[in-house]
Amino acid sequence: MKRIGMIFMICMLLFAFPTAGAAEDAAAERTTTAEQTAAQAEEPETAVNAATPAEPETVIVYVTVPTEPEPEAAPETTADRSAPRLMTTAYALDKDFLSPGESAKLTVTITNTNKKRAAANLKLTLTDESGDIEIGGMNTRFVGALGAGKSYNLEFPLTARHSAAVGRHSLTLTAEYEDGDFQSYSSADTLYVDVRQPAELSFSGAELPERIVEGDTVTVTVELMNTGKARLSNCRADFEIPGLVGGGTAFGGDLAPGEGKTVSANLRAQPEQLGVTKGTISVTYEDEYGKIYTKTADVSTEIEKKVEIDAAPSEEKKKTLPWWLYGSAGIILGGGAAFGVTYGVCAAKQRRQDELRL
């Protein structure tokens, strides 16, 4: 500030008192102007007075005053107050469904969806309000911390009671946790588990004879039986045996629990497939949820070549009976006739004697 004040005072002095050099220049300029005016004047009356004072000279001085830079404002810092958030991002059974009395393992994935704040002191609890599904061991799991954006997998063994209702069951997974400031939070997700009766079917009769003559037709009968507690639909038997045609597919339709049906197919042996042939008889059916099941039986037979037999008798085999056979037959017939006549006469004579005694 002192420097600025001194510069300002110097400028004021320059404006108030012209320098010596400036005064001399001004006087020389006034002399030159007077001489030119006297030389050019035509009349002495019009001469300009040489003593006319000159106009004051203006001096402009530019002064640069250095300034100190203003200090930068410090960035404002605010704490991240967003809360960690836990949610179930995936879950699965180690089998398609639970059946009454059976067990399975449930795997659940928990994710902290907050990308900046971690969750601490996690308490995870799985429950089934219906009571049809039991959670093995403790149904609560504890986790110390789950970092921002991180996931954690946990497993629960499940068992369906023998009296469990068939259908979809809802399980609830509740999460209780805290943030870094010990603020408490909670969340809950719903998990679905299916309880189904198993589809069970047995079959018998899927067999072929040991040998089949080419051109002959055999009938194969398959007995189907629903041995489970679930209704089965679209039951059928498929015959795929090289050399035997006409079988294709035999349909059995729907089967109620405990019901049985018989399906059959007529198979004709082809001459192009002589010898041993092997194939399969497959039984296919569906459960109430549209899942398809297939059971297969391996079968085999031998196709034999047909042998032609001439049924017309030859001339050499046509022979007459020997003569003595005719004679023996005549003697036997004659003796029989004589015995019959004698027996008849004796019987009549005996009847007459009996009548006379009476």
Residues 283/250, Cβ–Cβ less than 8 Å:
no
Per-residue pLDDT tens digits for 215-236: 888 888 899 999 988 889 999 9
Residue 304 binned pLDDT confidence (cut-offs 50, 70, 90): confident
Task: Give dist(CA 26, CA 333) in Å, integer.
Answer: 200
Reference 227, options 235, 215, 219; nearest CA is 235
Q: Is the pLDDT of residue 121 over 50?
A: yes
Count CB neighbours of 103 within 10 A.
Answer: 14
Residue 272 binned pLDDT confidence (cut-offs 50, 70, 90): confident
Per-residue pLDDT tens digits for 163-186: 888 888 999 999 999 998 889 999
Strand order in the sheet with 217-226: 201-204, 217-226, 260-269, 244-245
Q: Looking at residues 19-39, what average pLDDT do you find?
A: 51
CA angle centred on 236, ends 230 and 238, rounded to 5°: 145
- The structural domains of the chain, ordered by start, are 1-39+48-68 (no CATH), 86-195 (2.60.40.10), 201-304 (2.60.40.10)
Task: Give dist(CA 25, CA 35) in Å, integer.
Answer: 16
Q: Is the pLDDT of residue 312 over 80?
A: no
Report the Cα–Cα distance between both ends of the chain, in Å, rounded: 195
Bigger pLDDT: 35 or 101? 101
Q: How many CA atoms lie within 13 A of 249 on its CB side?
A: 9
Residues 104/158, Cβ–Cβ less than 8 Å:
yes
Q: How far is CA 24 from CA 29, 31, 209, 261, in A?
A: 9, 11, 149, 141
H/E segment holding residue 119 = strand 119-128
Give the tokens for residue 357.
């005694």
